Amino acid sequence: MSPESKNQIQGWKEIAAYFARNERTVKRWEKVRGLPVRRIPGQGRANVYILVSDLEDWLNPEFDEKPHTPDQIHDRHPAVQPQSTTSDINIPAPTPSVSAQAIPGALSNTVIEKDEVFVPPNLVNAHASIFPIYSRPISLLVTVVLCIVVLAVLAVRLAGSGIHAESRPPSTGDSHNVLSVRLKSAAEDTYLQAVYSYEERTPASLDRAHNLFSEAIAKDPNYAPAYAGLANTYLLLREYSSMPSAEAYANAKMAAERAVALDPNLPEAHASLGFIDFFSAWNGAAATREFETALRLDSDCGIAHHWYGSMLMHQARYPEAIEQLDIAQHLSPASSAILTTKAYALGLGGHRDEAVRMLQTVIDAAPRAASPHHMLATLSLTEPRDIGMYLRERRRSDELSNDQEDLTTITLAAAAYRRNGEPGMWSAILEREQHLHGSPDRPTYGMAQAEASLGYNDQALHDLNLLAAQHAPQMMGLALDPTFAPLRSNPQFQRLLAAVGLLRTF
């Protein structure tokens, strides 16, 4: 590694990790505290980095003596400087404490007892040089008067800086300020632990994130980011764990709306509402407004870019989806979730080989994750179909998600494929689905997939209309599902897409 690279901290993620803070905090420090962030010149979304040598100067208290532009003025004592951010609504700023180091000329470790006049040695020497011809009583009187003046000036400076705050009874406002700041600090620490667990995206880590976000809210019921984090956790619990979709969406909506009520400018909360509007309410127009609001508030909001890209992918708008997912990946290059979604969009958009390589990278890093295998199974049905891959990846997805019912279905389908090829496989799947869910007015999505693959288009459309009327969550995959490719030009299928919110609305 070159000396230059050792002296660099590259990207918002690494800068945040260096300070043990989140990315939003260090970005705020750049704006209000002059954090010396540098950018690689050129057009587009420039990469950011910090030189360690710059940080050493920034953290050095003497660095304040250097001239700054108005945008570079910042506090060298961040622990006591009140901050003003959109997430600090209803949390008053703390009364700053002051150290002797912060006040030029303050006397450290000096105690002035009652009825005792302390005369600094340098002041005595000054008196001796100024009044050499006067008698001792007059000299002493002048010295005392000068000392009183100096101490009075010093006392005024100290009182103005709050150094005597402990000597007066605290007001109600002071107590509220201190309590609010302590609550916010404790809630933020717990919130950051929750975000770490949330990013792992496993059933156990999401349960832990849920508990930690709830704990942060208990510590500070007005801490909006914790509500947004809780909302996002509910949305993932329905995908990566066993929480029913209806319960997850209802809880997520309450938490996200509470976050927006506390802080209307919190982009993560608007991103959550956009996800809910699209995947739960099937309202693409409302979802688009929420995602665009989130990105207007913070163009570097990674979760907004990720979930906006996911929505566009489900609407089969693959180039636009990949554009959003590229930005999300640039902001969070270590996120396997973003990489997985991007690979899925690439594969569905006609780049299956590249997508398979990307998903295999995710599987190598997280071999217990079921979703990459599910995506590979879907991609294997794009033309030219690879049925061997479909059966293999669907089986692996079922094993990792412990879906015993579907595992039995795919075992029967594999045996039928060996006997009678792909038509035999789809016939076995259809027969199994009808056996398990035989009510004519309660079809399954798997039935419709098998019917469309066998060429039973009218029956497939009939079942899909029933599923749409029942608000079945699987219908959100209708536009991108390769098994329905033969139906895409059918006007009835287009009406279905519109009913589910999968058509472009602007």
CA distances in angstroms from 222 to 93, 102, 217, 268, 506, listed in the order given = 15, 32, 7, 16, 36
Q: Which two tokens stand for residue 156?
A: 């005024």
Domain's final residue, options 321, 341, 366: 366
CA distances in angstroms from 432 to 57, 405, 444, 450, listed in the order given = 70, 10, 11, 11
Phi, psi of 179, deg, nearest 5: -65, -45
Alpha-carbon distance of 478 to 498, in angstroms, equals: 11
Residues 218, 359 share a domain: yes
Alpha-carbon distance of 370 to 356, in angstroms, equals: 15
Mean pLDDT by 10 residues, the chain (506 residues): 59 77 78 79 62 72 42 36 36 32 31 35 37 42 53 49 37 44 73 87 89 93 94 91 90 96 96 97 95 96 96 96 96 91 96 96 90 95 96 95 92 97 97 85 93 96 96 94 95 94 73
Q: Which two tokens stand for residue 421?
A: 């090829």
Q: How many residues does the chain have?
A: 506
Q: Residue 158's closest CA among 115, 112, 106, 93?
A: 106
Domain range for 136 is 115-163
In a domain, 417, yes or no: no
* Pairing of the two strands 8-10 and 38-39: unpaired
What is the domain-level CATH number for residue 282?
Answer: 1.25.40.10
The pLDDT of residue 191: 92
Residues 341, 204 share a domain: yes
Residues 199, 344 share a domain: yes
What is the domain-level CATH number for residue 57?
Answer: 1.10.1660
* Three-state secondary structure string covering 289-350: HHHHHHHHHCCCCHHHHHHHHHHHHHCCCHHHHHHHHHHHHHHCCCCHHHHHHHHHHHHHCC
Q: Helix %, strand %, coil % for the chain, to 5?
A: 70, 0, 30
Residues 262, 134 share a domain: no
In a domain, 32, yes or no: yes
Alpha-carbon distance of 506 to 494, in angstroms, equals: 16
The pLDDT of residue 50: 83
The pLDDT of residue 6: 53
In a domain, 169, yes or no: no
In a domain, 99, yes or no: no
Domain's final residue, options 340, 366, 392: 366
Alpha-carbon distance of 311 to 44, in angstroms, equals: 24
Alpha-carbon distance of 387 to 421, in angstroms, equals: 9
Residues 216, 349 share a domain: yes
- Upper half-sphere CA count for residue 201 (Cβ side, 13 Å): 17
In a domain, 51, yes or no: yes
Residues 66, 187 share a domain: no
CB 262 within 8 A of CB 220: no
Residues 325, 234 share a domain: yes
CB 242 within 8 A of CB 262: no
Alpha-carbon distance of 201 to 207, in angstroms, equals: 10
SS3 (DSSP) at 219: helix
Beta bridge partners of 8: 51
CA 87 to chain centre: 14
Tally of domains within the chain: 3
Residues 67, 147 share a domain: no
In a domain, 499, yes or no: no
Q: Which two tokens stand for residue 321?
A: 């989806």
The end-to-end CA distance of the chain, in Å, is 50
The pLDDT of residue 64: 43
Residues 312, 198 share a domain: yes
Phi, psi of 75, deg, nearest 5: -85, 130
Beta bridge partners of 38: 49
The pLDDT of residue 207: 92
Residues 257, 306 share a domain: yes
Domain's final residue, options 56, 81, 106: 81
Alpha-carbon distance of 478 to 383, in angstroms, equals: 17
- Upper half-sphere CA count for residue 23 (Cβ side, 13 Å): 18
In a domain, 354, yes or no: yes
Alpha-carbon distance of 180 to 91, in angstroms, equals: 6
**Tokens 């209307």 sit at which residue?**
264
Q: Which two tokens stand for residue 503?
A: 């058509």
Alpha-carbon distance of 497 to 316, in angstroms, equals: 11
Is omega for the bond preceding 473 within 30 degrees of 0, making it cis?
A: no
Residues 202, 124 share a domain: no
In a domain, 262, yes or no: yes
Residues 229, 130 share a domain: no
Quick one: CA torsion of 288, 290, 292, 297, rounded to 10 degrees?
A: 180
